[in-house]
Amino acid sequence: MRTADIFRRKTVFSLEIFPPKRDMNESVIYSTLDELTDIHPDFISVTCGAGGGKNGSRTIRIASDIINRYDTTSVAHLPCIGLTKERAAQILDCIKESGIENVLALRGDIPDDNGVTGDFSHADELITFIRENYDLNIIAACYPEVHPESRNTVEDIIHLKNKVDCGVGHLITQLFLDNRHFYDFRENAQLAGIDVPIEAGIMPVTNKKQIERIVKLCAIELPAKYVRVLERYEDDPVALRDAGIAYAVDQITELAAEGVDGIHLYTMNDPHTAHKIYDAVKNVI
């Protein structure tokens, strides 16, 4: 099923997983999926490391198995940085042949040495390439707290509007820990004429190292409320995990009340946390 169609019926609840690392046995992902699919998410998206190498084939295999083994809609992430059009076409052919109908078209992060090669500079070019050559539903990423490379909100929203106009069916946000960023972003997007559904990306942060890495990497604000939770429970992993779950449940409950189009849960391949959150919010979304 095309994800864009699901939004017409309901508030979407979807999950994100990542493929096992290259040195790990791929089969570990199936015990994770056995548990995650009990939630009956509207779709599951599978991340992909930039470069389109071995990780890319794992993404496609897992996204295809989500459809065939679990009868669940899937989304394959596709970062285009470093890809030639020829390589992108090989990957997209494989996506089509595997029965996957949805692609999250991304640029990917620019490598530290800035040694970028390939035919795509930004996600909009990949989106146009897919739209012109493939019958696939295209999803794109967006950033409530502004992408770190953008100078300001206006510039970021102009680029986003252009990206959507290239052929995007729905958007998924970067994680955020303060819902006010999402409401401001949604309003700005509406004012700019962006009228596709916007799913809120929620990450239950359950350990201190993880949150420090993410805040740095994604340039997101750590709200005072969250800092207080971290300081209180940083030496107690079980309490911190429970507090992280409670925080995510609070975020989702408020977003649902504010009429969010959908929730995309970054599961970090942790079914226990995903289940706890889903059980707490299933009646409000």
Smallest distance from the beta carbon of 172 to ligand FAD, in angstroms?
4
**Is 155 one of the annotated active-site residues of the chain?**
no
Q: Which of the 8 DSSP states describes residue 7?
A: T
Among 77, 170, 241, 276, binds ligand FAD (CB under 6 A): 77
Report the residue count for the chain: 285
**How many other C-beta atoms lie within 10 A of the C-beta of residue 134?**
15
Name the residue nearer to ligand FAD (CB basis): 65 or 124: 124
151: left (phi over 0), alpha (psi -120 to 50) or beta: alpha
Per-residue binding string, ligand FAD, 103-132, x by CB under 6 A, is -x-xxxx------------xxx--------
Q: Confirm if 61 and 30 have CB atoms less than 8 A apart.
A: no
- Work out how close the CB of 235 gets to ligand FAD at its nearest, in angstroms, rounded to a whole number: 31
DSSP per-residue codes, 22-41: TTS-TTHHHHHHHHHGGG--
Determine if 197 is a binding residue for ligand FAD (CB under 6 A): no
Longest dimension (CA), the chain: 53
Q: If binding is defined by CB under 6 A, does position 159 make contact with ligand FAD?
A: yes
User: Contacting ligand FAD (CB under 6 A), which of 41, 169, 197, 201?
Assistant: 201
110: its two tokens: 């620019």
Contact positions vs ligand FAD (CB under 6 A): 47-50, 77, 79, 104, 106-109, 122-124, 141, 147, 149-150, 156, 159, 163, 172, 174, 201
